[in-house]
């Protein structure tokens, strides 16, 4: 066994991040307590092309405030893909609404527009489109559905930094978009997120909610106009973000390089349709946050088999998201209603993909996949 363990992800931190964070810790107080925070919001707007941005303590908080600002509340329903992390669904529940799970497409692993119409009811208040692992939803189709039924389409772009749809950055098509800056993400602030929108009224509404319900034109000190939230990013976190956003093109490029090295090394298995990987269709750019492989059904290779092989090779394995409806906290959804969500996760795995991954490390990961495929196709017991 190789001595060094290959992590599935870790951040890329340079001296620039250390410099900015140190400055924020030493000097970012009093009148300067929001300097890096405001700078980060401005630079993130410039990077994505959004008109408005509010940095938050988490992507979950950004979704929570955005849904609240749209009036989602008790008894409402919000449609989203069954394949998701719980952070996309929990704010819906916190607001007293119900998440309605629909299936994903077998190629993008994202929300299937064809499944949405049947899920819309008079209680439906919004649609959340999650760009899973950097893959992009069919935003044209989703936007058409939203316009037809007068429903806002929200882009959960937590994993889609550097992903573009028809020349526009992920998160800028919908009513609002959100991003995550967790330590596992391409761009990190340690913890953190951001809310973006091109809707000025919605921005003002979320801005008020983000500051304990205090309107920014309120002249009375410590006067709250309504009950709000406390989801503000710290100035020190924002300092990290300012350095990372300056390096965003570099970071995304490195992630794409890692993906393409995997793709090249595994090309034979891809060409023979033994595995599939994250797609990048015409008019899109995939930021490839998390390179992922899905074994064909014919191999009979399961998630558990892959995990065991990776563990034996001293490599971290990160499983494909479980269908949320499988979790005991949600209403059960029949496998027949979302077959792709149940099927794909059972034979898929996320691959290690940090920016500074070496060719030798990528080769080690590919060797495990190639050995699994070879043994399966030769009929050997796994």
What's the CA gap between 341 and 42, in Å, rounded? 37
Residue linked to tokens 């809310």 = 195
Two structure tokens written together for 84: 């998701």
pTM, 2 dp: 0.96
Helix (H, G, I), strand (E, B) or coil at 167: coil
**Domains with residue ranges and CATH for the chain:** 15-246 (3.40.640.10), 248-377 (3.90.1150.10)
What's the CA gap between 114 and 126, in Å, rounded? 16
pLDDT tens per residue, range 113-128? 999 999 999 999 999 9
Tell me what pLDDT residue 378 has: 76
pLDDT tens per residue, range 239-273? 999 999 999 999 999 999 999 999 999 999 999 99
DSSP string across 186-240: SS--BS-EEEEES-HHHHHHHHHHHBTT--TT--STT--SS---B-BPPHHHHHH
Contact (Cβ atoms closer than 8 angstroms) between residue 237 and residue 249: no
Asked whether residue 377 carries a pLDDT value surpassing 80, the answer given is no
Tell me what pLDDT residue 381 has: 53
Please report which confidence band the pLDDT of residue 336 belongs to, taking 50, 70 and 90 as the band edges: confident
Please report which confidence band the pLDDT of residue 332 belongs to, taking 50, 70 and 90 as the band edges: confident
pLDDT tens per residue, range 120-155? 999 999 999 999 999 999 999 999 999 999 999 999
Counting Cα atoms < 13 Å in the Cβ hemisphere of 26 gives 6
Tell me what pLDDT residue 86 has: 97
Which of 10-14, 154-158, 335-339 has the weakest average pLDDT? 335-339
Two structure tokens written together for 301: 């290779």
Please report which confidence band the pLDDT of residue 335 belongs to, taking 50, 70 and 90 as the band edges: confident
Tell me what pLDDT residue 380 has: 64
Q: Dihedral, CA atoms, 247, 250, 251, 255, nearest 10 degrees?
A: 170
pLDDT tens per residue, range 51-77? 999 999 999 999 999 999 999 999 999
Distance from chain centroid for Cα 84: 9
Contact (Cβ atoms closer than 8 angstroms) between residue 57 and residue 191: yes
C-alpha closest to that of 289 among 175, 130, 172, 168: 130
Averaged pLDDT for residues 189-207: 98
Two structure tokens written together for 269: 């298995």
Residue linked to tokens 């988490």 = 58
Asked whether residue 2 carries a pLDDT value surpassing 70, the answer given is no
Mean pLDDT of the chain: 96
What's the CA gap between 59 and 180, in Å, rounded? 5
Residue linked to tokens 């890329």 = 12
Per-residue b or e along 221-259, where b marks 16 or more CB atoms closer than 10 Å to that residue's CB: eeeeeeebbebbbbbbbbbbbbbbbbbbeebbebbbebb
Q: Dihedral, CA atoms, 343, 345, 346, 347, nearest 10 degrees?
A: 100
In the chain, % of residues over pLDDT 70: 98
**Alpha-helical regions (H) of the chain:** 15-27, 35-48, 59-69, 86-94, 139-149, 200-210, 235-246, 248-265, 267-271, 303-312, 339-345, 359-377
Contact (Cβ atoms closer than 8 angstroms) between residue 323 and residue 99: no
Contact (Cβ atoms closer than 8 angstroms) between residue 255 and residue 352: no
């Amino acid at each position: 066994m190789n001595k060094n363990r290959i992590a599935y992800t870790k951040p890329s931190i340079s001296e620039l991040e250390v410099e900015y964070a140190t400055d924020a810790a030493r000097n970012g107080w009093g009148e300067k307590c929001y300097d890096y925070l405001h700078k980060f919001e401005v630079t993130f707007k410039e990077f994505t092309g959004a008109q408005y941005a509010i940095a938050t303590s988490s992507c979950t908080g950004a979704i929570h405030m955005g849904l609240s600002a749209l009036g989602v509340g008790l008894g409402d329903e919000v449609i989203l893909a069954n394949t998701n992390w719980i952070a996309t669904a929990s704010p819906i529940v916190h607001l007293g609404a119900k998440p309605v799970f629909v299936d994903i497409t077998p190629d993008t692993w994202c929300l299937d527009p064809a499944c949405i119409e049947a899920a819309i009811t008079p209680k439906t208040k919004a649609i959340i489109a999650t760009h899973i692992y950097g893959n992009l939803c069919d935003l044209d189709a989703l936007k058409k559905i939203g316009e037809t039924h007068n429903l806002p389409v929200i882009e959960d772009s937590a994993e889609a930094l550097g992903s573009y749809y028809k020349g526009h950055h992920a998160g800028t098509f919908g009513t609002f978009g959100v991003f995550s800056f967790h330590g596992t993400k391409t761009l990190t602030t340690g913890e953190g997120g951001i809310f973006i929108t091109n809707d000025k009224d919605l921005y003002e509404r979320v801005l008020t909610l983000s500051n304990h319900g205090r309107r920014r034109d309120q002249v009375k000190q410590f006067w709250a106009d309504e009950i709000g939230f406390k989801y503000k990013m710290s100035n020190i976190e924002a300092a990290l973000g300012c350095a990372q956003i300056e390096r965003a093109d570099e970071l995304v490029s490195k992630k794409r390089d890692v993906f393409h090295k995997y793709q090249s090394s595994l090309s034979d298995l891809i060409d023979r349709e033994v595995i599939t990987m994250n797609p990048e269709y015409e008019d899109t750019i995939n930021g490839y946050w998390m390179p992922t492989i899905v074994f064909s059904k014919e191999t009979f290779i399961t998630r558990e088999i892959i995990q065991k092989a990776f563990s034996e090779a001293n490599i971290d394995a990160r499983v494909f998201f479980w269908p949320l409806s499988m979790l005991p906290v949600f209403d059960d959804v029949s496998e027949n209603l979302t077959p792709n969500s149940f099927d794909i996760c059972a034979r898929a795995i996320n691959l290690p993909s940090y920016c500074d991954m070496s060719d030798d490390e990528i080769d080690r990961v590919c060797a495990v996949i190639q050995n699994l495929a070879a043994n399966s196709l030769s009929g050997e017991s796994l």
